Structure 1
């Protein structure tokens, strides 16, 4: 859903960390730091998707031909939004690897201690949050580095909350980059976790619940972040129309407020292996202006939606949406929308399993000639109108 998403504009950082990722989302909190080693648990099963021969160009370099003359031209105001069709294997190379929390360098047990640790953290700091209730609008603008991120770790019994569903952000990474947050609970804020202009942040194995608006929001040029293995539930308690699970970017109606009237380049973010339910709006909302992200291995339950009519709205370009499982939607499983000319193009849907129980499609591509691709390995049951609005592709 569209709507105000408050917060300042921050400078965009750049991340160069690319690693191999498997489907082992949940990991322990003790042990060594993240590595570029492949996770040993089985990867999502998309092996039925055809892959190019070794002599052909890499699939990331393949651009589908224009379907009609309605394709954006080089003179179009949004020509910069044009992007290549993603590879079906892109989910394997997330910008932040599965990680383990190292030994704590700082342990906190009060709200004041937690905020002080967030204010003074530096590259390599490892903050351990003891079990207990931490009330406040917790915020940091401190940076780690790609080689020495800052860790913020705790068990489920460590609960961060803003105090009310109108109480602001429970946890705000405000221009902060290279953090790793793992294990603890975030609840009872207007927004759960907000990332503004953050790069290389890994949110992993967190519980985010009882939120006034959206649970997790990556915004204002937040790039190359990973949201992995979260349990997200019970959003939209303040305004149901803003109750998304994960929200990427900024609605065009708010660009002039937050991004100088330009698209919000919250690009190359990965949303992997999360369980999202009890949201009043979409499980995931991918806004116009975002490019090149991955939504893979997630589980969606839309039975609580009162405002959204699909688990996922896709309004950006070049996204891979693969190997997700969804159930119960008011209309569609996934909906691709062209909010502005040149946006909502060249997204790839692969190996998703949809039990829609709604009035629409598993994948509703609302502008049929927009170079979106729905592979035939997507499956659907209980969708009144079937798999998709376009012909599925076998490769």
Structure 2
């Protein structure tokens, strides 16, 4: 049976030029605008231009430090790249001649036992996981991933022994509707890949919601959750990521998730296993969509600060912030929910959420020795602080609560622990910030030296303000992200 080809429309954000060509059978696109071409790169010793799959595979198999493999417009089958060693000064780069116009529609790329290799500007529509195995300083940048799915499929997987310092940045991942994750970072059988970075990507349209194994990003794995990853997930935009109750799932020690924006996405950023996680400077914007949530944590010694939660409709697993109960205490199965110890939740802002700070909604063991301080919590329904299980030896200090409508504070604490006073929030774009004369100004406890700036990247000067926002005239260096801030065409 012959089918009429679907048409792909590509718009250059830089030029406004629109091009179209079939997606089911290759036809050469119109002559590209010069603005789509890649500039010369440092460290190039040899440029290899490939125009068909056989030459591409030969170039991958024989790549040397300093090679720049330029992939002409067209459709390609791809294969493995093994034992190819670039250097920091002379990387191996595989780059589309014109961004998005070299399409990988068949085969499987596995970059194995390799280093300092970059894949840049390709469009991926094939049916197989892109694997980075036992390699370091491998970079995937400014690619467009929209894989063809027939069953469960993870799109990008980092794994293997001696895997470290890989980077996945400025890519677009979209339209995932089968089980499996957009990006998974694992490692060997005993240790997670270390010092990887996932940044400035656009993740959108994953779902419908599944019980498990449909995260946008998973960092770590239960069986290696006692290892440390030192992974940084930052400055990504998640839109309509509705696949898994955990949009981002962290399952190891010593990872950081910061400066991301979650828009109209069902589920939460979850520290599912492991200790010493840092979640800060993130924007969670529910935009009224059902089951949108914020942060959920298990384990020990996490820091949650400078996050802004607004318009979220979830509760329980999907609360704006869930310091959950555990089903094991200090020992048990690695797949269990480990009890929270010594969580530090400070300088966050909660606005108009269905459920704000919840403690111990699930399982048996409530959090121990945790601190909730210098947060601004406002809302018109439910309890602003909801202790579903009484925490053990909690510390409340310097919080500002302002219940309106049918809402209540929810806890009875001294005035210096929870002040019931209007913080005088004012809307600025998609978020609320404290206004002039707010009782949140210069009234933080000042006890948390790691809080050096606010959600906008403005410095915390003198006595810090309560909440995620510091009232300041300093330059705003971070903001809620939009599509133009991330992905292949972002600056």
TM-score (norm 1): 0.60
Specify whether residues 120 and 263 from structure 1 end up closer, same or farther in structure 2 by C-alpha distance, changes over 3 A only. farther
Deviation sequence 1:149-201 (CA, Å, 0-9, x none): 433444234444558999430x2112221122221212215222111133121
Q: 1:351 aligns with which of 306, 310, 315?
A: 306
Which of residues 227, 231, 235 is equivalent to 1:269?
231
CA distance in 2, matches of 1:107, 1:277: 36
Give CA-to-partner distance per residue, 1:12-57, whole Å, 9 cap, x none: xxxxxxxxxxxxxxxx963666xxxxxxxxxxxxxxxxxxxxxxxx
Matched ranges for 1:243-258 at <5 A: 243-250=214-221, 252=222, 255=223
- Larger C-alpha radius of gyration, 1 or 2? 2
Q: Which 5+ residue runs of structure 2 have no aligned equivalent?
A: 1-36, 108-123, 326-338, 360-370, 375-444, 449-491
Match of 2:274 in 1: 316
Distance 1:228 1:125, change over 3 A: farther
* Contact 1:270–1:294 (CA under 8 A) maintained in structure 2: yes
Deviation at residue 324 of structure 1 after TM alignment? 1.2
The match for 1:156 is 100
Residues 29 and 349 of structure 1: is their aligned pair in 2 closer, same or farther, counting only changes over 3 Å?
A: farther
CA RMSD across the alignment: 3.4
Alignment coverage as a number of residue pairs: 278
- Measure, in 1, the Cα distance between the counterparts of 2:215 and 2:313: 20
Q: Please report how far the alpha carbon of residue 362 of structure 1 lies from its aligned counterpart in structure 2 after TM superposition.
A: 2.2
* 2:351 is equivalent to residue 381 of structure 1: yes
Do structure 1's residue 226 and structure 2's residue 197 form an aligned pair?
yes
- Provide the residue aligned with 2:293 in structure 1: 332
Measure, in 1, the Cα distance between the counterparts of 2:75 and 2:208. Answer: 20
User: Which residue matches 1:291?
Assistant: 253
Task: Work out which structure has the larger RCO, using CA pairs closer than 8 Å and 6 or more positions apart in sequence.
Answer: 1
CA–CA distance in structure 2, aligned partners of residues 187 and 138 of structure 1: 20
Alignment of 1:1-395 (within 5 A): 30=39, 105-135=47-77, 142-154=84-96, 155-161=99-105, 167-169=127-129, 171-188=130-147, 190-197=153-160, 198-211=163-176, 212=178, 213-220=180-187, 221-236=192-207, 241-250=212-221, 252=222, 255=223, 262-263=224-225, 265=227, 267-279=229-241, 280-281=243-244, 282-287=246-251, 290-303=252-265, 305=266, 309-328=267-286, 330=291, 332-337=293-298, 344-355=299-310, 356-360=312-316, 361-367=319-325, 369-376=340-347, 378-387=348-357, 389=359, 391-392=372-373, 394=445, 395=448
Q: Is the 8 A contact 1:159 1:184 kept in 2?
A: no
5+ residue gaps, structure 1: 1-27, 34-100, 256-261, 338-343
Structure number having the greater strand percentage = 2
